[in-house]
Structure 1
């Protein structure tokens, strides 16, 4: 049987009827270009589209914070069970790792984060968050729905996949470092490459944006407690004022970027927390400040961290106070770096699906993303999925209480997931075959 059979098989996706074909995977360039088109057509079918919409809305109504995604994980496992997709659970507390294909090389992974944010939703609609103080304000509910949509399509022709697609449903992206915990738990064992996406209101629906190399900054959080001696505001000479000391600390911290950093080396240091005092006429004993620091190189982030501690301690000392500085290691994320070879792969697949005019160049951003842990361990690629549509009103950026997801973007994300993984396996077949049963015997 000819290699064109895989393309014919993709056409049968319209009928949800898997068939058996030859093991020949040497498709022509024309046949490869049709794979993303067929996946997108399939993902737009009403029964697939509304299935993803319903999943996304269920998750949206019941948001869960990092490492607390028990109901979200339960929903994912129920859907995988219905599809007949094997998985490992628990991985890093609430994470789920599913497998589609042979259980043999090559292995390629697709990632979706699951956690919500600790904030109150301000959007009034039928499926508003039912949990006070928690909201899916960054689109992770849509990310899960799209990866499940990709899984549904891929499972239809699982017998034709020449390798293994690993589905990574990850907890605690929002400051919990869930990706690091999944790595430590072996979630990417044998995986050669991983792809991740994020919805974005900056780009129109039907478009994508990314870039090779560094795309998101490294960064973390710090907190400093400055201790003085409290007393009555009318007799400040009997006190050691920590508010004045903290004010001097903050001003000096701003000089680290403006006066010490190379202007061509992007860095950010922001003090966003200042707590101290509870009355207009009482100088407090202590003040707490905190913030975030970001940079695009390991050397710069290490230098910035060292100088933050030095400035806080020495400026506090000048004002006769003492201070302690702590850094939240759990919230520290490395630079997110997109592999250049995977960038070329992404460009080809996305162009075949969306047209070259709908692939945007994304400038580096000072935001952080714990996908960086995956991309640090193996070749990784992180991109943005456009969802803006001016006819549907303004779509706010992530972490806004008014954040909304344009559900019209769901088929594009699901189809890109499936296409990127399928094409990667077809184009990266191993030259030698390992002994049968040596990898993932549970499959």
Structure 2
């Protein structure tokens, strides 16, 4: 054998070995995932006219009849009616209007899927056949779609109930928009046996068929504060006879801005915003008091709690410097603060496997940039490993202006509904299959 032919043979063997290693690695990765072959047609089922048209009909009925937090009586009744038709048992009422459904064996392991139901106090400005029928209320955050997709997942899972290796818990939750309905669900005890929970949120800027998420912090903790700074009113022409609360409040606001610029680690993203300032009613009278209010955000519980502590210290301290008194209310009873939304690492791996299998790797954004908005899904994650992801529902039109969430002009693409339903169903069923093996030693 010549030297050149010997080298050629070596290269051949080398590439054969590399190819076999790749095949082995791919086989190992696939075999390490639970066998979910029974569940790999969920998206096809969700897109079928029977299921898709049914979901569209439900979403539009909910959209026409929006209800605010803890007032979702009609929405709850509509959901229960659909569960009854499917023969799915449930608990009601939970957290006033909440509905908790059950599909599967009724035995461990238990995995939960969550959808919120409440609307916003916004007047809808979109002109279409199914516009809100309630003045000043609108599903401007997509919760009508969330509830619909969970019902869609329920329909799919019920059809495959005999194959489910455990129990799927359906959480139709009230009052996500500022009132912490998730906390009431947790406090009710209905999730005490659940070992994982999944939730999603629509994104009008993300194309249909795409999802986005990340491991670790994905949304910030969010809190509110309101402060009353009291002084002594008087004529603006003789300020030395008064104690000016406007000056005290103004210095307090400037000092609050330094919490982030001078006390926070530059690599630990935080926000403090004063968005409310009310005081005085005329140009030549110093008022007796002023009211300021705002929000604070952070991605870690420690930073969030530190911001809360310092906000009160600064407002009270700056008021005292200017001879005023101040009280700070964090509105916990009315609008509880939300913890940071932090995705479990193992569930992130599970989500990526399921989503890539269903949607393709190019449609799964698994390292999205965290956002400073808040979600009460975080209350579940404080007691249960949880995972939250974003689902594309970008409008099919090619308008330059794409309305955001909480906009009176929000329009969602209903073609996204099957993707949410199928992902919900697949995430839960494959999770149970995997953990049934662990529980039962298979």
- Decide: shared fold, TM above 0.5: yes
Give the Å deviation of 1:157: 2.1
Which of residues 405, 408, 412 is equivalent to 2:419?
412
* Among 376, 397, 401, the residue aligned to 1:391: 397
Whether the aligned pair in 2 keeps the contact of 1:36 and 1:415 (CA below 8 Å) is no
Q: 2:346 aligns with which of 322, 326, 341?
A: 341
The CA distance in 2 between the partners of 1:28 and 1:433, in whole Å, is 19
Alpha carbons 2:123, 2:137 under 8 Å: kept: yes
| Number of equivalences | 408
1:309 aligned onto 2:312: yes
- SS of the aligned residue for 2:41 comes to helix
Q: Deviation at 1:211? A: 0.3
> Are 1:204 and 2:211 counterparts?
no
Report the equivalent of 1:274: 277
Tell me, in whole angstroms, the C-alpha distance in 2 between the residues paired with 1:310 and 1:431: 50
The answer to whether structure 1 residue 264 and structure 2 residue 264 are counterparts is: no
Aligned-pair distance for 1:112? 0.1
2:97 maps to what in 1? Answer: 94
Paired residues of 1:88 and 1:98 also in contact (CA < 8 A)? yes
Deviates more, 1:386-395 or 1:318-327: 386-395
- Residue 414 of structure 1, CA deviation: 0.3
Which of 232, 238, 256 is the matching residue for 1:229?
232
Using the size of structure 2 for normalisation, the TM-score is 0.89
Question: CA shift at 1:219, angstroms?
Answer: 2.0
Partner-residue secondary structure (3-state), 2:314? helix
2:429 matches 1:422: yes
Aligned equivalent of 2:375, options 340, 344, 369: 369
Contact 1:253 1:269 in 2 (8 A): yes
2:298 equivalent to 1:295: yes
Kept in 2, the 8 Å contact 1:108–1:425? The answer is yes
RMSD of Structure 2 on Structure 1 (CA)? 1.9
Deviation at 1:28, TM superposition (A): 7.1
How does the TM-score come out when normalised to structure 1? 0.88
CA contact (8 A) 2:109 2:439 kept: no
Which of 218, 230, 237 matches 2:221?
218
- Equivalent residues of 2:234, 2:285 under 8 A apart: yes
Farther-moved stretch of structure 1 (35-44 vs 269-278): 35-44
Indicate if the aligned counterparts of 2:34 and 2:434 stay in contact, CA closer than 8 A.
no
- How far 1:406 sits from its partner (Å)? 1.3
Describe the SS at the equivalent of 1:391: coil
Shift of 1:269: 0.3
Larger Rg: 2
Q: Distance in 2 between matches of 1:196 and 1:319?
A: 48
Q: 1:236 offset after TM fit, Å?
A: 2.5
CA distance in 2, matches of 1:357, 1:339: 22
2:107 aligns with 104
Which one of 188, 191, 212 corresponds to residue 188 of structure 1? 191
1:374-433 alpha-carbon deviations (Å, 9 max, x no partner):
112111100000112463534322111222221110000000001111111111115556
| Residue pair 1:274, 1:288 contacting (<8 A) in 2 also | yes
Moved more, 208-217 or 235-244: 235-244
Cα 1:317–1:30 shift into 2, 3 Å: closer
In structure 1, what is the equivalent of residue 87 of structure 2?
Answer: 84
What corresponds to 1:161 in structure 2? 164
Corresponding residue of 2:408: 401
> Any unmatched runs of 5+ in structure 1?
1-26, 435-443
Q: Which shows bigger deviation, 143-152 or 48-57?
A: 48-57
Aligned to 1:14: none
Q: Is the 8 A contact 1:120 1:135 kept in 2?
A: yes
Distance (Å, rounded) in 1 between the aligned partners of 2:56 and 2:124: 19
Instruction: Give the Cα–Cα distance (whole angstroms) in 2 for the partners of residues 229 and 58 of structure 1.
Output: 54
Q: Deviations over 1:67-110 (max 9, x none)?
A: 11111111111110111100000111111000001100111110
User: Which residue of 2 is the match for residue 352 of structure 1?
Assistant: 357
Which residue is 1:21 aligned to? none
The answer to whether the 8 A contact 1:220-1:294 is kept is yes
Partner of 2:26: none
Instruction: Report the secondary structure of 1:278's partner residue.
Output: coil
- C-alpha separation in 2, matches of 1:284 and 1:54: 54
